[in-house]
Amino acid sequence: MRRVSVVGAGPNGLTAAAVLARAGIEVDVFERADRVGGACSSARLFGDATVDLGAAAHPFGVASPAFRALGLERHGLEWCHPPIPMAHPLDDAPAALLLPDPAATADQLGRDGDAWLALHAHLVRHLDRHLANVLAPPLRWPAHPGAMARFGATAWPSALALGRRVFGQEPARALLAGSAAHAGVPPSSPLTAAFGLLFGALGMTRGWPFARGGSGAITRALAAEVEAHGGRIHVGQQVRDLGELPPGPVVLSLTPHAVLGLQGLEVRPAVRRRLMRWRHGVASHKVDYLLDGSVPWADARLADAGTVHVAGTVAELEAAERATARGEMPRHPFVLVCQPGAADATRSRSGVVVWAYTHVPAGWREPEPGWVTSLVEAQLERFAPGFTSRVRCRAERTPSQLEAWDANLVGGDIAGGSMAGLQGVLRPGLTLDPHTLRRGGVYLASSATSPGAGVHGMPGWWAARAVIRDASRPSPIWDARARGADRR
Ligand SMILES: Cc1cc2nc3c(=O)[nH]c(=O)nc-3n(C[C@H](O)[C@H](O)[C@H](O)COP(=O)(O)OP(=O)(O)OC[C@H]3O[C@@H](n4cnc5c(N)ncnc54)[C@H](O)[C@@H]3O)c2cc1C
């Protein structure tokens, strides 16, 4: 039987392993931590509360072609949808709401309602075609060229420019720009409109759900699928030397610099240079809360929102993200808030779990412990007066603590590498075959490769497809020598 090793048991490594195991390949997964999941895990915190340690909301997860094909629901995964997928509160005005229906979303956007519908119409109507295009390697002929051309024509500018051109009012512009800011680059950056449009269309069709019982349910389901097909998962095993792995090709769900640090890596100098050019992006600082009661939002409808973008106006959001990208910590940062309890009653019996993170500059250190948390809470107080008086417990994780927990979160960069400029699309650089580092020997599956960050498993899916493609060609690929494993 053919044999492949997978390094890293986050959503991408596990997806690759599941696809390979289903193809009849003998798979061993090696994971540094003492549990599977990577940045898609949850744990008990604050007593009985289930807290998502990394990813919380899953617009791309619920729509992922890979997760659908793997049938994760058979292993207990259940998506829970909040009544309002996403909201963006504004000072002294009703919040902008992304609702699970285009007409309902447009209705509360006033004069911009028709423009909102027109902007998203093609995406909403042909979402699967668009997902097949954007969740695939970028330098290939798209699965649906017409849809790709149409999306590209609308999505190439910045979310800021598109919002200004199409909408006349703040709420619609805020919905677009807030979603775009998930990319960790200022919404004035080219191509950020693509993120805003896709997140909006997903919210109005598939939703921005949580996983019942915590995000760990997603990666546990992936692990169960691997094992159901005979795959083996070895936790507590940090891989430093490819020569220590079983003979055969290896799929690495690691960042490019971590790949280059592996002993026994044999790749062409051009590939090595491409990986060396990899840049990391802004960091995240995470804060989890257990509250005595629900968040006292000034706009009470937000109690039903799964995800809330706390930033204020688009101009404030842009200023915050621009400062962060420049290396300065903004006084009024963009705070991403999730309220899993709006959809999943299992998260805590004794209080309300609130998940939040904010972007902080790469490599930046807070002047004193708790400083970033105080900025986060000032933003929350602004739109939810009385928030801090409801805090029973809080737990924060700085960028360096995030990296110590999951080595792929380099410097606290949760996207596996900056999404700025061409690197946002050409991951891990300019190549027609982004998942193959050495044909028949070494493959890349992390969010540093196409189609990038998020819990959807697509980098792992494509990496596994590349392995299977090469396996069907006559070549020495199943020979340990292909990656130098017989040097010992
Ligand atoms: C705070 C935070 C919030 C996020 N929010 C969201 C969200 O709401 N929605 C969303 O879709 N995405 C979100 N993300 C992003 C998402 O979690 C990542 O894009 C996704 O987990 C990447 O998957 P991966 O498998 O490539 O890497 P990871 O999930 O990082 O997994 C990599 C695994 O490799 C292991 N590893 C590393 N080095 C080695 C080694 N040498 N040997 C063995 N094992 C190794 C690590 O321990 C880890 O388990 C968030 C991430 C974070 C951190």
DSSP string, 161-184: HHHHHH-SSHHHHHHHHHHHGGGS
Atom of ligand 1 minimally distant from the CA of 12: 25
CB of residue 408 inside a 6 A radius of ligand 1: yes
Let me know whether 200 and 303 are in one domain. Answer: no
Let me know whether 284 and 327 are in one domain. Answer: yes
Which pLDDT score is estimated for 487? Answer: 38
Tell me the CA–centroid distance for residue 240 and ligand 1, in Å: 18
How many domains does the chain fold into?
3
Let me know whether 399 and 421 are in one domain. Answer: no
Let me know whether 141 and 67 are in one domain. Answer: no
| Structural contact between residues 28 and 232, judged by C-beta atoms closer than 8 angstroms | yes
Which pLDDT score is estimated for 472? Answer: 81
The CATH code of the domain that includes 314 is: 3.90.660.10
Tell me the CA–centroid distance for residue 137 and ligand 1, in Å: 20
| Structural domain for 56, as ranges | 3-44+52-78+212-279+410-478
CB of residue 253 inside a 6 A radius of ligand 1: yes
Which pLDDT score is estimated for 485? Answer: 43
CB of residue 470 inside a 6 A radius of ligand 1: no
Let me know whether 275 and 418 are in one domain. Answer: yes
Q: What are the C-alpha distances in Å from 142 to residues 130, 132, 134?
A: 10, 8, 8
Domain membership of residue 486 (yes or no) is no
Domain membership of residue 88 (yes or no) is no
Which pLDDT score is estimated for 475? Answer: 56
Which value, in Å, is the radius of gyration of the alpha carbons in the chain?
22
| Structural contact between residues 338 and 59, judged by C-beta atoms closer than 8 angstroms | no
Pocket test for ligand 1, best of 414, 446, 458 (most atoms within 8 A of CB): 414
Let me know whether 237 and 167 are in one domain. Answer: no
Residue of the CA atom closest to atom 52 of ligand 1: 54
Question: Which among 29, 24, 1, 22 is positioned nearest to 445, based on CA atoms?
Answer: 29
Q: Which of 405, 434, 461 is the last residue of a domain?
A: 405
Let me know whether 418 and 323 are in one domain. Answer: no
Which pLDDT score is estimated for 481? Answer: 44
Domain membership of residue 237 (yes or no) is yes
Pocket test for ligand 1, best of 36, 58, 234, 253 (most atoms within 8 A of CB): 253
Let me know whether 372 and 270 are in one domain. Answer: no
Q: What are the C-alpha distances in Å from 399 to residues 365, 367, 403, 414?
A: 9, 14, 6, 9
Atom of ligand 1 minimally distant from the CA of 307: 8
Domain membership of residue 84 (yes or no) is no
User: Could you tell me the mean pLDDT of each successive run of 10 residues in the chain, 488 residues long?
Assistant: 92 98 98 98 96 98 98 98 98 96 97 98 98 95 96 96 98 98 96 97 98 98 98 98 96 98 97 97 98 97 98 98 97 98 96 98 93 98 98 97 98 96 93 96 97 98 97 62 42
| Structural contact between residues 59 and 203, judged by C-beta atoms closer than 8 angstroms | yes
Domain membership of residue 289 (yes or no) is yes
Domain membership of residue 396 (yes or no) is yes
Q: Which of 150, 173, 205 is the last residue of a domain?
A: 205
Which strands make up the sheet holding 93-98, listed edge to edge? 93-98, 84-90, 305-310, 335-338, 352-360, 283-291, 391-397
Let me know whether 427 and 395 are in one domain. Answer: no
Which pLDDT score is estimated for 478? Answer: 52
Domain membership of residue 197 (yes or no) is yes
The CATH code of the domain that includes 241 is: 3.50.50.60
Domain membership of residue 487 (yes or no) is no
CA gap 443, 86 in Å, rounded: 36
Which pLDDT score is estimated for 92? Answer: 87
- The runs of H, that is alpha helices, within 269-344 are 269-276, 314-326
Let me know whether 286 and 264 are in one domain. Answer: no
Atom of ligand 1 minimally distant from the CA of 452: 19
Q: Which of 153, 179, 205 is the last residue of a domain?
A: 205
Residue of the CA atom closest to atom 13 of ligand 1: 55
Length, in residues, of the chain? 488
The most distant pair of C-alpha atoms in the chain lies apart, rounded to whole Å, by 70
CB of residue 286 inside a 6 A radius of ligand 1: yes
Tell me the CA–centroid distance for residue 401 and ligand 1, in Å: 14
pLDDT digits (tens, 9 = 90+) for 49-68: 999 999 999 999 999 999 99
Contacts of 293 (CB under 8 A, 6+ apart): 351, 352, 390
Let me know whether 336 and 269 are in one domain. Answer: no
Let me know whether 219 and 73 are in one domain. Answer: yes
Pocket test for ligand 1, best of 5, 6, 12, 60 (most atoms within 8 A of CB): 12
